[in-house]
Chains A and B, each alone.
Chain A
Amino acid sequence: MSAPLLEVSEVVRTYAGGGAFSRRRTTAVAGVSLRLDAGRAEIFTIVGESGSGKTTLARMILGMVAPSAGTIRFQGIDLATIRGKRARLAFMKQVQPIFQNPFEAFNPMKRVDRYLFVTARRMAGLLGDTEIAQATDRALKSVGLSLAEIRGRFPHELSGGQLQRVAIARALISKPALLVADEPVSMIDASLRASIVNLLRDLRDRLNVSIIYITHDLATAYYISDRILIMRQGSAVESGDARSVLDNPQHPYSQLLKRSVLSPDVPADAGARLRPEPETSQGVIPHA
C-alpha cells in the first residue's frame, strides 16, 4: 500500500505568552491526529469555535508553522525534514492554501492576473508567455471564469465571490493534491456563498483534489464534507463520517454546537428557540 496523502500524528503547538521572560505557554493545538488517504479525493472538514486551534492546525499542515511535538507527513515525507528552496517548492506545489478574506489576500494596487502569472512561473515552472496564459486560463475555466474576464482587472473591480474564485484558480495552477481552505466562504455574500461551496465539491469530483475545509459553519460542513473533525480548545472531541457525526453527535460539546445552530426555518415560538444554553448564560466574571 502506498503512503497516505497526509498523515498528522499527535501534533502539538504551544505559543509563549506574556512578556519576554514569562514562562506562561498557551497550547493552541494539543495532540491532534488525522489521516487523508491517497487516491481517493475527499473533503475533510475541521469545525470549531474561535480559539479552538483549527487555524493553527491548518498552518502546520501548510508548513507555515512547525509543530512543537508530533509529526506531519505529506506523501510519506516528514514536513520537518524539508530543507532548501527546491524541496520546499516541490511541497508548496502539492499543498496550496485558500484564505478567508479575498480582499486581503490580494494586493489592491496590483492587477489580479499578475498573481496568476507569477504563480504559473514560480510554482508550475512554466516559461513561455503563451504557456503561462494557457495554464492560467485553464485554471480559471475550472472555477467558472476565464482569462479574458480577469485580464488587467484590479481587485476592487471584482466582487468578493469572483475574487475568491480567482484565489482558488491561483491555488489550482500548480495542480496540487491538497487544498487547505481556511473559512473560504465566511466573507462571501450569502447569494454567492452557495456557488463557492459547490465549486469546492466540484473540484473534488472533477480534479480529484483533496480539500481540508476549515469552518465554524456546521450547515455548509454538512452540505459538502465527507469526513469531519470537531475541535475544542486544541483537542479533537469527535471525528468520523460527516453525516453520521452531525446527525448523531456523541460528545456533549458537539451536541451543544449542533443545538446552537440557528435553523433558517421560522419557529413557532421565537422565545422557546432562543433559550440560551446553561453554559453560556453566565459568561466570564473578571478578576476585579
Chain B
Amino acid sequence: MTEPVLTVSGLRAHYRTSAFGVEREVRAVDDISLRIAANEIYGLAGESSSGKTTLIKTIANAIQPPLEVLAGSVVFNFRDRSVDIHDVTPRELSAIRWKHLSYIMQGSMNVLNPVRRVRHSFVDFAFRHIGQPMPAFLEVVRGHLQRLHLAPDVLDAFPHQLSGGMRQRVTIALATVCRPEFIIADEPTTALDVVVQKGVLAMIHEIQRELGSSILFVTHDMSVHANLADRLGIMYAGRLVEEGRTADVFRSPRHPYTAHLIASLPRLGDSAPKKGLEGAPPSLASPPPGCRFHPRCPRATEVCRRETPPMAWLAEGHRAACFHPASEAAT
C-alpha cells in the first residue's frame, strides 16, 4: 500500500477556558485516528457540535486559543516531503498552505473579498505559489477556469455580481488552481439550492479525479456523502464512531448511531413512518462516561456505561467503536 497523504493519530484537541475561576474543558476532538490515501474523497459526517469543524481546524493547524492540541499528531505526506503540521514554523506553514493544502469553505462570500474584483482574490491566494510573472499567472488562472467550465470574465466581476452557485464554483477554482495534494471542503454545498448543489458536487468530483488530490469532505448531509465519498467517517460527540467504504457503511452500518442516521433518512417515494432518535447530543463539556452514545442507544448495556469502546476492525476496511456492533448485513 502506498503511503497515505494524511495520517492523524491519537489526536486530542480541547477548548480550555477559565472564567471567574471556573475551569471548563470542552473535549471537541477526542482520540481520533484516521488515514486518507492519495486520490481519495473521505467524507466526514456528524451533527452540529460533534467536533467536525474542530477536527478540520487542528488538521489545518488553524489553532487559536482557547483551542489546544493535547496529544496526537497530524502528518502530511506531500509530493516532495513529509511534514508534521503542528511542528512547522509559520513561514513553512504559509508555504504549504494553498500550494499543498487548500480549503473550500461554506460561505463563499467570506472567502472572496466583497469590495475587490475576483481577480484580486486569485492574486492574493495563489500568485506567490505559482511563481510566474503576472501576465503568465493570469493565463494560468484563465486556463484553469476554462477547465472548470467557467467563463474567464468572472475574473473581472465583483462577488456580488455572481450567483451563489457561481461564487461557490469560483472558490473551488481558487482552491484548486495550485493543484494541491490535499483539499479540505467544509460544507461547500450546504447553502445552495438542490439544483445548483448537484452541479457544484459534479464539479468537485471532476476536478478531484483530474488532479488526483485527496479531499476531506465535511458535511452533515448523508445524501451528499452517498453520492460523492469513497470512504466515510462518522463522528459523534468528538469521537470517530465508524469508518468504512461508503457503500459498506450505507449497506451495513455497524454502530447503532450510524444505523439510525441511515434508517431515518427521508427518501423520495417513501412515506413509511420513520422513527426519530430520542434524547439530544451530549454536551462536550461534560460528556457521559463510557460510550458517549449510550444514553440514546437501544443496545446499551452495563459495560457501555462504564468503559469507552475502542475502535475495532469488523471487516476489511470497516471499523466501529461499539461493544455491540451489528453483524454484517446480508448482501
Contacts and interface: CB of A to CB of B under 8 A. Distances in A.
Interface range on chain A (Cβ under 8 Å from partner): 35 or more
Interface stretch (B14-22, B64-72, B99-107, B196-204): B196-204
A267 B196 CA distance: 20
A142 to B, nearest CB: 16
Given A280-B196, A287-B161, A264 B222 contact: yes
A223 B276 CA distance: 14
Interface stretch (A3-11, A34-42, A59-67, A157-165): A157-165
Contacts, number: 173
B234 to A, nearest CB: 11
Contacts of B193: 49-50, 216
Interface stretch (B85-93, B135-143, B174-182, B223-231): B223-231
Interface in B214-256: 220-224, 226-228, 246-247, 250-251
Given A266-B226, A285-B151, A193 B268 contact: no
Contact of A222 (B166, B246, B271): B271
B198 A263 contact: no
Contact of B226 (A196, A246, A265, A277): A265
Given A223-B270, A271-B205, A288-B156, A264 B223 contact: yes
Nearest to A223: B266
B261 A190 contact: yes
Contacts of A275: 202
Interface of B: 47-48, 149-151, 153-154, 156-158, 161-166, 169, 193-199, 201-203, 205, 209, 220-224, 226-228, 246-247, 250-251, 257, 260-262, 264-271, 273-278, 280-281
Interface of A: 49-50, 158-162, 189-198, 216-220, 222-224, 243, 246-247, 256-258, 260-267, 270-271, 273-277, 279-288
**Which 4 A-B residue pairings sit nearest by Cβ, starting from the closest?**
A195-B276, A159-B280, A189-B47, A219-B266
Given A193-B264, A194-B264, A277-B198, 9 more contacts: A50-B164, A50-B193, A158-B280, A189-B47, A216-B194, A246-B268, A258-B268, A264-B226, A264-B267
